[in-house]
Amino acid sequence: MRKKLKVLALFDAVRATTLDQDLSPELKTENWKTEAGVLAALNELGYPNEHLAIFDDLDLLRQKLQTFTPDVIFNLADQFRNNRAFDQHIVSFLAMTGIPFTGCGASGLTLCKHKGISKKILSYHRIHTPDFVIIPRGKRIARPKRLKFPILIKPLKEEASYGISQASFVETDEQFRERVEFIHEKTNNDVIAEEYIEGREFYVSILGNHRLQVFPIRELVFREVPPDEPKIATYKAKWDEEYRKRWGLQNVFAEGLDANLTRKIESVCKRIYKLLTIDGYARVDLRLTAANEIYFIEANPNPILAADEDFAESARKAGLSYPSLVDRIIQLGLKTVRD
């Protein structure tokens, strides 16, 4: 029988916590369903486990590691002092403790977070990426002539579609300037402006370190959005149930892809995963044009792991129950070399 691993589940919190904080009220909420799901899976797997949520005090974590001495840390902490840019620093700290942890390390998180650097690496390797320009805060706002409308204006280093709305889709220099200014001022982010790629939107879930398993492909469909309207996974499109209903937005398994195209998508996604030095598990977001060209949009290491989100849905379709998925992620974490 496999040794019963001691697992520390590590979460982030939006306010200060204590070592023995009772998190049961939070764990009953929608916002904490991933955390609750992972804890339930750990119990089902029979792993002795404890959990800790950190806000801005790494010393809590150090103390917990000393008293509980986990064999592995299940890392679900992706912000520090409410700052999502610090996820790579949290895993740097974990790596320095020498204790194995799940998911992606610092370099993969850093490369994927920067929507410009990731695209530069991939386009060097001839993977299709939208043409783009980066406009830092405080710099003159101008569209390079080579960049063709329509253009999508995004925060350079955000996720979960923060700062992305229908107004992010711009077709004139005036709209371009207005939206860039808005992102600079209101979200305090540098901007990446990308040529808009028209096409189907795919989410490809991958598990592994060296040998990679690609799960069945998911698609965001826009059933009620008129054909000539832009189709974008805006903040509302992701998180507002009313809005999703009104426009017929649904995350489903991609249909009608022939075997060749499926294989091509899988192989591009595996290359992307390796080129961006991802460990553990990730979801790669793509667009497929009418000419069947595959365009990289972004890679999400440590994607949302809730049972009803795309990653776990895809894994389930491939025959991995939620607890087995959690177990696979742990086994991979134990084997990941963090150098």
Ligand X SMILES: Nc1ncnc2c1ncn2[C@@H]1O[C@H](COP(=O)(O)OP(=O)(O)O)[C@@H](O)[C@H]1O
The entry of ligand X, Mg ion, none near residue 217 (CB within 5 to 8 angstroms by kind) is none
Instruction: Find the helix packing angle between 33-45 and 322-335, rounded to 10°.
Output: 80
CA atoms lying within 13 Å on the CB side of residue 203: 22
Per-residue contact track with ligand X, 224 to 253, x per CB under 6 A?
A: --------xx--------------------
Which of these, 130, 126, 92, 128, lies nearest to 108 by C-alpha position?
A: 92
The entry of ligand X, Mg ion, none near residue 160 (CB within 5 to 8 angstroms by kind) is ligand X
Classify 10 as helix, strand or coil: strand
Q: Residue 9, interface with ligand X (CB under 6 A)?
A: no
Q: Residue 152, interface with ligand X (CB under 6 A)?
A: yes
CA distance 166 to 264: 31
Supply the minimum distance, in Å, between the C-beta of residue 3 and ligand X: 38
CA distance 38 to 254: 27
Two structure tokens written together for 163: 């700062």
Two structure tokens written together for 204: 């490809």
Q: Residue 297, interface with ligand X (CB under 6 A)?
A: yes
Do the strands 7-12 and 72-76 form a parallel or antiparallel pair, or are they unpaired? parallel
Per-residue contact track with ligand X, 199 to 218, x per CB under 6 A?
A: --x-----------------
Chain residue at closest Cβ approach to ligand X: 233
Of 28-36, 154-162, 268-276, 330-338: span binding ligand X (CB under 6 A): 154-162
Residues that bind ligand X in the complex, under the rule CB under 6 A: 115, 130, 152, 154, 158-162, 164, 194, 196-197, 201, 232-233, 285, 287, 297-298
Interface ranges with Mg ion (CB under 5 A): 285, 298
